[in-house]
């Protein structure tokens, strides 16, 4: 009997699945592949896989039998019901100890459910975030696997070989049990939403406030990409503004409809942050900006009905200020995402190492950026750090950017240019560094209308207490009346006759 040759199996031969199969094969591993769409499977076998150590199968049983034990099957299918359907196609042919990996953008709670259900059958389930798009899948993605540790150990050598590489090593790490990997990928995408919105707002100010043409915008982003703002997203932004439409000769980006779509991971990040009680205003602004952009027909009507009013603002170097404001706001976006991961790790007992997350995001993924070195250093100094803004080096980096940041937010409001993410980031920063916030009033209001209680700053030992604010207010009014002063007397400072 011929011994199974394939070390790993790929299910789903869309762009991501086929490119991962080619990546794995290029690193010296034989691959078995299966695709529900038989025409796509045959086309892949005849074209991309031709002459390579990739065997394409049309039957699930034959596919499984071609895999070495323990079987390792990486599923690259659409999140949701397709994942459950795919699992059921292979479970009848698997044995205890075999490993199923979901490399799609599944919701982490679905991953937790699947991992628990498959564990009852003796199967190991890994939820793995994969970032980098089609080029990353082919040349080296950032990988975020979560699930049983033994399953990761069985996959580690392959994952480290195919992952992106930086001076800090391969961009993959064991994130934690059950849904940890997919949670971290979800937050990665949430940060992506926030940072993309910040960049879009910077461009909008360049265009509408500074009147810059596409070539000048491209040159600016290319220059910024040589300094502390260096990142994949800044790099591709510069490239986008250099592309001219072949039909009209105009910058192609100016012909793109201003209605951004979304696949749901940003929305999940916002929803889960609310569930866990974590503030993520920059990420929220990125999600909400896409929602507003979808109202194109309404915005066209509103543009005619609601003319904007602008104010004069002090003259200054807005372009230079934009650089600093963008850097400061991006730091806040990453800080919010990392804080969300830390909170979830505590909630679910995942023991996620944030230093490792920052390291694995340095290469391959969409949000790779130079500032991740700053974050990584913060977690090296303080592994249990509640928020990177509390790190001394991060504080020294962001503090000098404040004046420029504030000038940009003022300028955007004065000129009527919507910059929700830049403004939300600054508000987050200011709230986080404020020793006493006005929520003492909020809590007093809650106690008045709902008897929700409050705590006293001068008597913490009393715990949660309740005051009848209406009665106390009436008593204060009676005391005022009894003093013999009326409003006119008090206004003039004279006593009544």
Which residues are CB-contacts of 404 (< 8 A; sequence separation ≥ 6)?
320, 321, 322, 323, 324, 325, 328
- How would you class 363 by CB atoms within 10 Å of its CB: exposed for 0-12, middle for 13-18, buried for 19 or more? buried
Catalytic residue among 192, 201, 288, 356: 192
Which residues are CB-contacts of 392 (< 8 A; sequence separation ≥ 6)?
381
Of 38, 30, 36, 26, the residue nearest 9 (C-alpha): 30
Q: What is the C-alpha separation between 61 and 279, in angstroms, rounded?
A: 48
> What is the bridge-based pairing of β-strands 72-75 and 99-102?
parallel
Question: Could you tell me if 378 and 388 are in contact, meaning their C-beta atoms sit under 8 angstroms apart?
Answer: yes
Report the phi/psi class of residue 264: left, alpha or beta, with left for phi > 0 and alpha for psi in -120 to 50.
left
Active site residue 185: yes
Question: Could you tell me if 76 and 16 are in contact, meaning their C-beta atoms sit under 8 angstroms apart?
Answer: yes
Could you list the pLDDT tens digit for every one of the 497 residues in the chain? 456 789 999 999 999 999 999 999 999 999 999 999 999 999 999 999 999 999 999 999 999 999 999 999 999 999 999 999 999 999 999 999 999 999 999 999 999 999 999 999 999 999 999 999 999 999 999 999 999 999 999 999 999 999 999 999 999 999 999 999 999 999 999 999 999 999 999 999 999 999 999 999 999 999 999 999 999 999 999 999 999 999 999 999 999 999 888 778 889 999 999 999 999 999 999 999 999 999 999 999 999 999 888 888 766 799 999 999 999 999 999 999 999 999 999 999 999 999 999 999 999 999 999 999 999 999 999 999 999 999 999 999 999 999 999 999 999 999 999 999 999 999 999 999 999 999 999 999 999 999 999 999 999 999 999 999 999 999 999 988 887 655 555 444 443 33
Q: What is the C-alpha separation between 157 and 251, in angstroms, rounded?
A: 45
Residue 4 is predicted with a pLDDT of 74
Phi then psi dihedrals of residue 177, to 5 deg: -75, 175
pTM for this prediction: 0.93
Of 133, 95, 107, the residue nearest 232 (C-alpha): 133
DSSP annotation string for 184-205:
HHHHHHHHHHHHHHHHHHHHHH
Q: Which residues are registered as beta bridge partners of 34? A: 11, 57
Q: What is the C-alpha separation between 251 and 272, in angstroms, rounded?
A: 38
Catalytic residue among 185, 267, 362, 376: 185
């Amino acid at each position: 009997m011929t011994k199974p040759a394939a070390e790993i199996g790929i299910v789903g031969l869309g762009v991501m699945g086929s490119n991962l199969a080619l990546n794995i094969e290029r690193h010296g591993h034989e691959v078995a592949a299966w695709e529900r769409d038989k025409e796509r499977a045959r086309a892949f076998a005849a074209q991309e896989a031709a002459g390579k150590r990739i065997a394409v199968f049309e039957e699930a049983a034959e596919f499984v039998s071609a895999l070495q034990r323990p079987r390792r099957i990486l599923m690259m299918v659409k999140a949701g019901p397709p994942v459950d359907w795919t699992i059921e196609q292979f479970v009848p042919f698997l044995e205890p100890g075999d490993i199923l990996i979901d490399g799609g953008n599944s919701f982490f709670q679905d991953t937790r459910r699947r991992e628990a259900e498959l564990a009852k059958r003796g199967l190991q389930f890994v939820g793995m975030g994969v970032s980098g798009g089609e080029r990353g899948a082919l040349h080296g993605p950032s990988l975020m696997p979560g699930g049983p540790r033994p399953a990761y150990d069985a996959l580690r050598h392959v994952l480290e070989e195919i992952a992106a590489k930086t001076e800090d090593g391969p961009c993959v790490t064991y994130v934690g049990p059950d849904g940890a990997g997919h949670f971290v990928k979800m937050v990665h995408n949430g940060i992506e939403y926030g940072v993309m919105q910040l960049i879009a707002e910077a461009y909008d100010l360049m265009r509408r406030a500074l009147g810059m043409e596409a070539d000048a915008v491209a040159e600016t982003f290319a220059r910024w990409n040589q300094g502390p703002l260096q990142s994949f997203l800044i790099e591709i932004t510069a490239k986008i503004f250099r592309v001219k439409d072949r039909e009209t000769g105009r910058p192609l980006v100016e012909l793109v409809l201003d209605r951004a779509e979304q696949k749901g991971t940003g929305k999940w990040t916002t929803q889960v942050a609310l569930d866990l009680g974590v503030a993520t205003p920059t990420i929220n602004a990125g999600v909400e900006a896409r929602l507003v952009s979808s109202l194109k027909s309404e915005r066209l009507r509103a543009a005619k009905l609601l003319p904007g009013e602008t104010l004069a603002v002090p003259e200054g170097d807005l372009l230079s200020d934009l650089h600093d404001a963008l850097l400061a706001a991006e730091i806040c976006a990453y800080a919010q995402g990392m804080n969300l991961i830390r909170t979830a790790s505590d909630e679910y007992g995942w023991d996620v190492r944030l230093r490792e997350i920052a390291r694995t995001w340095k290469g391959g993924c969409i949000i790779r950026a130079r500032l991740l070195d700053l974050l990584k250093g913060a977690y090296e100094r303080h592994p249990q750090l509640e928020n990177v803004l509390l790190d001394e080096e991060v504080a020294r980096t962001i503090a000098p950017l404040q004046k420029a940041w504030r000038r940009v937010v003022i300028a955007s409001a004065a000129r009527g240019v919507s910059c929700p993410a830049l403004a939300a980031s600054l508000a987050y920063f200011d709230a986080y560094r404020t020793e006493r916030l006005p929520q003492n009033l909020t809590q007093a209001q809650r106690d008045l209308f709902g008897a929700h209680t409050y705590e006293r700053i001068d008597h913490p030992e009393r715990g949660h207490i309740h005051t009848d604010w209406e009665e106390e207010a009436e008593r204060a009014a009676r005391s005022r009346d009894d003093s013999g002063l009326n409003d006119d007397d008090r206004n003039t400072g004279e006593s009544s006759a």
